[in-house]
Amino acid sequence: MDVDQILAVAHATTFEPPSTPVGEATLWPEIRGLIEHGIANQPRELQKEIGPSELGTDCVHCLAAKLAGWPERRQPGWLPFIGTCVHERFEHMFEALNTGEQTDDSLPDGRWRTEHRVTVGRLQGLHGGYDVSGSIDLWDRKTCSTIDWKIVGNTTVTRVKAHGPSQQYRIQASLYGIGLENAGEQVLRNCIYFLPRNKTSLGDALPWETGFDSKPGRWALARAQLLVNLMDCIEQAAGVDVRDSWIRQLPAAGPDRCFACKGRVWPDMPALPEFDERPWPDVPGKWLDLIPLIEPEYKFAE
């Protein structure tokens, strides 16, 4: 075979990429699936036991469902994942300050503690108990301050400006202080910094700081323990199905105030309620009379 014949064969067998209509995203479904699988399998997403970030909710229904160990059904959250990425970057940034030029000589072990793990309390029930633990985004040992990053949209910033941080955020901060005190640390201040997700400058951030107060956190722990005790009493007396039906009767904050309600993640929140096939037994009145004992809201002093 001469050169001309070789070139002719090579030309005839040149690889032709598959024909894909312009604008058709054929690879995206696979890429999206890989991303969502990664998001859904983060340690934070797989956590089954309740943490400090959830104890302060004003949605009694979702609090009880979480404490009872109901299975959650939710889509991988893109916006929370953006916040997770920012948190991870800040973690490396502040850790580097402990060994860099800005090292504080008065704190030889470093001023900053990132993702600092604390145990805020313990919940005990019929089937055993567990420590309630969580991670503080940033612990400033110099000023004895807890710092929590919240990566938020415009709606949340507007709401915080008008009404202050939500009960859930404030109680979360209080619980972190309790966790530090449990470890023998002094706590003077709780900080929540609302960082804009949709702006180009931190000039649009909304910082909130307050003196540490353990009372909101202790209220949340006591409320959760009371819920556990009541659900255990109902389960022992009438069975799991009646207990679950009682949880179904608890007041929900609704989709405007509760992320879980908005995502309809629990077994009694099907996408189409008319097709809910699970039987929900009647709850005796003596158990329904207990519902007002569970306070949705903490009465802050200010």
Round to whole Å and give the CA distance between 11 and 235: 77
242: which residues sit within 8 A by CB, 6+ positions away? 234, 235, 281, 283, 284, 287
Q: Angle CA(223)–CA(192)–CA(226) in degrees, nearest 5? A: 5
- Domains annotated on the chain, with CATH: 77-214 (3.90.320.10)
What's the rounded Cα separation, in Å, for the pair 168 and 150?
A: 12
Locate all alpha helices (DSSP H) within 111-152, ordered by sequence: none
pTM reported for the whole predicted model: 0.85
* pLDDT tens digit at each of 302 positions of the chain: 554 554 454 455 554 555 656 678 889 999 999 999 998 887 765 567 899 999 999 999 999 999 999 988 777 888 889 999 999 999 999 999 998 656 666 787 899 999 999 999 999 998 889 999 999 999 999 999 999 999 999 999 999 999 999 999 999 999 999 999 999 999 999 999 999 999 999 999 999 999 999 999 999 999 999 999 999 999 999 999 999 999 999 999 888 888 777 776 888 876 655 556 678 999 999 999 999 999 999 999 86
Sheet containing 128-140: which strands, arranged edge to edge?
A: 112-125, 128-140, 145-152, 189-196, 206-211
Q: Report the SS3 class of residue 132.
A: strand
